[in-house]
Amino acid sequence: MPWFIRRKKNITTPTEAKKDVPKGLWYKTPSGKIIETEELKANNYVSPEDDHHVRIGSKEYFDILFDDGKFKELDANLSSEDPLNWVDTKPYKERLEELKTKTGLNDSIRTGVGKVHGRDITVCCMDFKFIGGSLGSVMGEKIARAVDYCIKHKTPLLIITQSGGARMMEAAISLMQLAKVEAKLIQLAEHNIPYITLLTNPSFGGITASFGSIGDIIMAEPGALIGFAGPRVIKETIGRDLPKGFQTSEFLLEKGFVDMIVHRTKLKDKLKEVTDMLMPIK
Q: pLDDT in tens for each of the 282 residues of the chain? A: 555 555 555 555 554 444 444 456 888 878 788 889 999 999 999 998 889 999 999 999 999 999 999 999 999 999 998 988 888 878 999 999 999 999 999 999 999 999 999 999 999 999 999 999 999 999 999 999 999 999 999 999 999 999 999 999 999 999 999 999 999 999 999 999 999 999 999 999 999 999 999 999 999 999 999 999 888 888 888 888 888 888 999 999 999 999 999 999 999 999 999 999 999 876
What separation in angstroms does the CA of 112 have from each of 38, 71, 105, 143, 218?
24, 6, 14, 11, 20
Question: Does some domain include residue 8?
Answer: no
User: Do 32 and 71 sit in the same domain of this protein?
Assistant: no
Question: Does some domain include residue 259?
Answer: yes
Q: What is the pLDDT of residue 26?
A: 86
Question: Does some domain include residue 4?
Answer: no
Question: Does some domain include residue 6?
Answer: no
Task: Print burial letters for 251-262: b (CB count within 10 Å at least 16), e (below 16).
Answer: ebbeeebbbebb
User: Do 185 and 73 sit in the same domain of this protein?
Assistant: yes
Question: Does some domain include residue 71?
Answer: yes
Q: What is the pLDDT of residue 35?
A: 87
Count up the domains in the chain and report the number.
Answer: 2
User: Do 90 and 44 sit in the same domain of this protein?
Assistant: no
User: Do 164 and 230 sit in the same domain of this protein?
Assistant: yes
Question: Does some domain include residue 126?
Answer: yes
User: Do 137 and 224 sit in the same domain of this protein?
Assistant: yes
- The answer to whether 39 touches 46, Cβ cutoff 8 Å, is no
User: Do 43 and 117 sit in the same domain of this protein?
Assistant: no
Output Rg (C-alpha) for the chain, integer angstroms. Answer: 22
The verdict on pTM exceeding 0.85 is yes
Domain ranges, residue 157: 55-278
Q: What is the pLDDT of residue 20?
A: 45
Q: What is the CATH number of the domain that holds 146?
A: 3.90.226.10
User: Do 129 and 191 sit in the same domain of this protein?
Assistant: yes
Helix (H, G, I), strand (E, B) or coil at 223: coil
Question: Does some domain include residue 167?
Answer: yes
User: Do 91 and 221 sit in the same domain of this protein?
Assistant: yes
In one letter, which amino acid is 152?
A: K
Q: What is the pLDDT of residue 21?
A: 42
Question: Does some domain include residue 1?
Answer: no
What DSSP character marks residue 220?
Answer: E
Angle at alpha carbon of residue 60, lines to 80 and 166, rounded to 5°: 35
User: Do 225 and 209 sit in the same domain of this protein?
Assistant: yes
User: Do 146 and 165 sit in the same domain of this protein?
Assistant: yes
User: Do 152 and 90 sit in the same domain of this protein?
Assistant: yes
User: Do 72 and 44 sit in the same domain of this protein?
Assistant: no
- The answer to whether 236 touches 258, Cβ cutoff 8 Å, is no
